[in-house]
A and B are shown apart, each in its own frame.
Chain A
Amino acid sequence: MGTTAETLLAHLPIAIIVIPLAGAVACFVLPRAARALMAVLGIAGTVASGWLAADVLEHGARGYVVGGWAPPLGIALHADGLAAALVALTAVLMTVCGSLARPRRSGDAFFTSWLFAWAALAVVFLSDDAFNVYVGLELLGIASVALVASPGTRPALHAALRYLAAGLTGSLLYLLGAALLYASEGTLSFAGLEDAGGAPAAAALAFMTVGLLLKCAVFPLHGWLPGAHGCAPAPASAVLSGVVVKSGIYLIWRLWSDTLFGVPADAAANLLGALGVGALLWGAAMAWRAERLKIVIAYSTVSQLGYLVMAVPLLRTAGVEALAGVMLLAAAHAFAKAGCFLAAGAVLARRRSDRLETLAGLVSQMPIAAFALGVGTVSLVGLPPSGGFAGKWLLIQASFAVHAWWWAAVFIAGSLLSAAVLIRALAPAFEAAPADCASRAERAGASEWTALAIALGALALGPLAGPWTSLVTEGSIP
């Protein structure tokens, strides 16, 4: 038993990339079997990702040298706790949300894009190579655009085109940075870039960071996000908000803490923190003005991404404690947001509209969807016992530990803002149903129950904060 399991374990990092890739090609070649393939490979990918996470938790980080050529000549994969945690989160959300997808007609293209996006996320999280990550980001961008465009309506196509233009520009800036790094340091491996320095490295860091901020929609480069996440089918919105935008944030964390470049970058890190505060406020303000439920949820993502960017200066000073907090926040947001989008999708499917005034009577007619939205809100606002609460708590502790109490003040203010925004949006749900609607509760479908289950995941992260934190910080960056 030992040897076979050991061999399999050794190949897990690449298997986690290869499984969805194989699934994507299979869906393309065998369009009729796409749904079945998606289910089978989803389970296989989830098992592999879970196993990797368990192994990293127990035995520490695991590497893999692709093609037998160690860096700098070849490409290595590196699964530390942070990467393994994100890969596992991706696998769960991709599989669960994917099982709910009901693509319009070209299901093969939808599932091909879905699995390509999954594989690309795994590449971005696991790869140790700056250029390999670029190709992964491009694959992720094109696959995500395909998911946004899949309804085929003009607003969806318009949003997809904007998303594609932003993504293309972002990866171009990233590519310029990677080229500068290679030209000055002679390697593309993140591990080999730890003591990169000088003007080329500083310019590279600037280009890559701006490119990634654009790709993950951090204020003020967030313009494409509400349209794209608001127009995509609900399961796609769930993973786009839940994990796809986080791939860019993850790379920013790595660039700013792992490879410090010897740049006197603390001032720049504080600038990133300020952008985070801007995102928090602006996202909340726009969500306050939005009239459609999915747009409210999308702007809430803009707002919540602010926390993850605000953590950059804290990661540099407070280290592991801040990382634990921000990853808990990221995971809780992924579950809560996926649950909210799926619930909104169920509402949209049932009522043909997700305008806020049409939510009236939701609590009595679609109690499960309403409950999912409520549970998601609890975590997004950061009330105990949710993962959102635990994450904010750790971050506040971390900011006090390094005497940066102003960050704590921002986190608390952000919670109040989120509460105001989300409660305003959901308030009509508690009103009585209009007279012309049947007042009987309708039977909840699979999508509503799934939405609730995923949203409850965000609550469960609170009590589970301990193991999650020890996984995330295993062999990790700061």
Chain B
Amino acid sequence: MGIDAAALLLDVTLAATVVALGWRCVITADRFETVAVFIGISLVMAIAWTRLEAPDLALAEAALGAGLNGALLLAAWAETRGIEDGPAERRIAGPALLAATTMAVAGAGLAPLVGAEAGLAAEIAARLDQTGVSYPVTAVLVDFRALDTLLELCVLLAALAATWQLGAARPLLRGKLYGPVFVAYVRIALPLLVVLAAALLWRGATSPGGAFQAGATLAAAGVLLLLVNPAGRVPALSWAYRICASLGVLAFLGLGTGVTAVTGRFLDWPLSHAGALVLVAETAATVAIATTLALLVVGGRPVAQRGRVGKRH
């Protein structure tokens, strides 16, 4: 009883914190506060999700929401300081009405679902032995709904291509982090992150983890690597980037088409080799996700710099 009450208190506190931060984030007049509070929400949310039996999702949320988007939001805030679009925001009634309607419809839709049960957990558990992996979420991602994952990798690639056409990358933080302490830190952190990514990928077959968590971790390692550079220059490795970023889509398309000859269906892994094929596809996806996320942080096409770096402000 005591434990239950404590758990309830924890859940209510977490939920209330997230909601309070969420409203604070959209109400505050200070743009920096908006960004900082949003990063905070992402982190608290990750804790909340572990309470909901979703540690792997929490990891992905912390890496993508707080890490990737947090870094990009801070960069965008720094570069748009002083050129805020439009006049001050005074409207209250219309937005409040919109928010109330949305919440009412969502609440009405969700209310009957309390205590009701519908889902495919049992069916999926019963067929796990036909998939080559034993963790249900990974099985859904790479086998039952592999087409979703293929398209998701395409979304990442499309976002990267769209970002690249906007122009050349500018130096990351202009090398402001560079120094002996940071270099020593990267020397220790980089191998740890790579090992962690490999562990997450390998564990994904049997327990929470998988290509996305591993890719996000590896992307963090990649960003560190790009930051260890006195001028903050991003090396212009066009070919390597292009191939690494496409590797996931290429693997899913290639293997998916290849197995069609054996099993007669696109992305239908033959049972005898399912484990190995899935591992290859997931490894390729990990490399692609890591490359793409790291390059999205860079935010432009990495090109060879001639002479001086960029334009000074």
Residues of A at the B interface (CB closer than 8 Å) are 11, 14, 18, 21-22, 24-25, 28-29, 31, 64-69, 72-75, 106, 108-110, 112-113, 116, 119-120, 123, 131-132, 135-136, 138-139, 142-143, 145-146, 149-150, 152, 157, 176, 180, 182-187, 198-200, 202-204, 206-207
Contacts known (A24-B154, A67-B147, A75-B148); A203 close to B246, Cβ less than 8 A: no
* Cβ of A15 to closest chain B Cβ, rounded Å: 9
Q: Is the Cβ of B253 less than 8 Å from the Cβ of A202?
A: no
Contacts of B256 in A (CB 8 A): 18
Interface string of B139-156 (1 = CB under 8 A from A): 000011111101110110
Given A68-B265, A132-B145; 14 other pairs, CB 8 A cutoff:
A21-B150, A25-B249, A29-B250, A66-B266, A67-B265, A69-B143, A72-B123, A108-B161, A109-B165, A131-B148, A132-B151, A138-B155, A142-B159, A176-B106
Would you call B184 an interface residue if the criterion is a C-beta within 8 Å of the partner chain's C-beta atoms?
Answer: no
With both beta carbons as reference points, the residue of chain A lying nearest to B107 in the complex is identified as A203
Contacts known (A119-B154, A184-B118); A135 close to B148, Cβ less than 8 A: yes
Contacts of B120 in A (CB 8 A): 72-73, 186-187
Q: Quick one: which of B232-267 are within 8 Å of A by CB?
A: 242-243, 245-246, 249-250, 253, 256-257, 260, 263-267
Instruction: Give the B interface residue count (CB, 8 A).
Output: 53
Residues of B at the A interface (CB closer than 8 Å) are 105-106, 108-113, 116, 118-120, 123-124, 127, 143-148, 150-152, 154-155, 157-159, 161-162, 164-167, 242-243, 245-246, 249-250, 253, 256-257, 260, 263-269, 301
With both beta carbons as reference points, the residue of chain B lying nearest to A109 in the complex is identified as B165
* Cβ of A25 to closest chain B Cβ, rounded Å: 5
Q: Is the Cβ of B265 less than 8 Å from the Cβ of A183?
A: no
Contacts known (A11-B266, A112-B158, A152-B167); A203 close to B109, Cβ less than 8 A: yes
Contacts of B147 in A (CB 8 A): 66-67, 75, 132
* Cβ of A125 to closest chain B Cβ, rounded Å: 14
Q: Is the Cβ of B151 less than 8 Å from the Cβ of A139?
A: yes
Determine which residue in A14, A67, A204 has the highest number of CB atoms from chain B within 10 A of its CB, and name it: A67
* Cβ of B64 to closest chain A Cβ, rounded Å: 15
Contacts of B265 in A (CB 8 A): 65-68
Q: Is the Cβ of A149 less than 8 Å from the Cβ of B166?
A: yes
Q: Is the Cβ of B118 less than 8 Å from the Cβ of A135?
A: no
Our pick among A29, A67, A149, A176 for the contact of B165 (Cβ within 8 Å) is: A149
Contacts known (A113-B161, A142-B158, A146-B162); A206 close to B105, Cβ less than 8 A: yes
Complex CA gap A385/B108 in Å reads: 50
Our pick among B118, B144, B152 for the contact of A73 (Cβ within 8 Å) is: B144
Complex CA gap A131/B141 in Å reads: 13
Contacts of B165 in A (CB 8 A): 106, 109-110, 113, 146, 149-150, 152
Complex CA gap A25/B161 in Å reads: 10
